[in-house]
Amino acid sequence: MKTQESRFQVHDELTAPERSLPVLKGAVAGGGQLPNFVGVLAGSPAALRAYARFRSELRHGALPLKTQQRIALAVAEHQGSVYALATLLRTAREAGLPLDEIAQARRFGSGEEREAAMLRFVRALLEGDSAPPLHLHEEAREADWTDEQLLEAVSHVALNHFSNLLTRAGDVPLDGSAEEARLLQAA
């Protein structure tokens, strides 16, 4: 069985540029295993630090975690990101999203009307070449989403879009596959 290889080196704490090490050590301490995406991004310390700061700030923003997960699922599905979906299916469940809500979010929907209004706004961001239609912005506001939350939603779309672009550009293998390759090589 051949394991997919990344077009970019998947770094770890032994191979990463020195300026990437603080972020990598934090990622390993926080999650145990270093995601291949982060290992690839470590090849550019500036990009890694920018991503980590952007992600950290948004995680502590005004959008509920379940909404963040719904947005990420919708963006990943829209962009066909196998890598992101593999991770998000697990993290969305950990965030408390039921399976039916995960499936709906992947199609820009939700059984909760407030969440559905946000996802219609997000869909318009991704599918249009201009500003989302005003009625979708107003609909999101009428569903009690604040300007702060709508701005964060746009930021989550951008962050997830960036992640999906990087995993596609690098043909980054699913997490665990680098370890499988090492074990196959050692055998």
Fold classification of 65-169 (topology level): AhpD-like (1.20.1290)
Are 18 and 48 within 8 A, CB to CB?
no
pTM: 0.89
* Polymer length of the chain: 187
Distance CA(187)–CA(181), nearest Å, equals: 10
Distance CA(73)–CA(186), nearest Å, equals: 36
Distance CA(149)–CA(141), nearest Å, equals: 10
Are 149 and 63 within 8 A, CB to CB?
yes
The secondary structure of residue 43, as a DSSP letter, is: T
Distance CA(138)–CA(143), nearest Å, equals: 9
For every one of its 187 residues, what pLDDT tens digit does the chain have, with 9 covering 90 and above?
Answer: 334 688 999 999 999 999 999 999 888 887 678 899 999 999 999 999 999 999 999 999 999 999 999 999 999 999 999 999 999 999 999 999 999 999 999 999 999 999 999 999 999 999 988 999 999 999 999 999 999 999 999 999 999 999 999 999 999 999 874 444 433 333 3
Q: Where are the domains of the chain?
A: 8-60, 65-169
In terms of Cα–Cα distance, which of 94, 125, 92 is closest to 110? 92
